[in-house]
Amino acid sequence: MLVTKIRCPMCGHVQEIEVPENACLPFYKCNGCGELIQTPTDTCCVICAYSETKCPASSLR
């Protein structure tokens, strides 16, 4: 399982999350502030929006 660092847009907390290999991740829960972080409009998923990498699914398109 691929793991990436994702940065919370609410509080700036950085945590590692697992990246689905062939699916998008529409939301994740921040361990810093407890917010459920949703994908911004016009963005593939939270991986693409807030992490240092793109999700594997987006590179297949």
- Asked if 33 is part of the footprint of Zn ion (rule: CB under 5 A), the reply reads yes
Question: Which run of H or of E encompasses 6?
Answer: strand 2-7
Nearer to Zn ion, 30 or 45 (CB): 30
CA atoms within 13 A on the CB side of 60: 8
- Placement of tokens 């697992």 in the chain: 18
Smallest distance, Zn ion to C-beta of residue 47, A: 16
3-state DSSP call for residue 10? coil
Q: Which member of 30, 46, 49, 57 binds Zn ion (CB under 5 A)?
A: 30
Task: Summarize as ranges the residues that interact with Zn ion (CB under 5 A).
Answer: 8, 10-11, 13, 30, 32-33
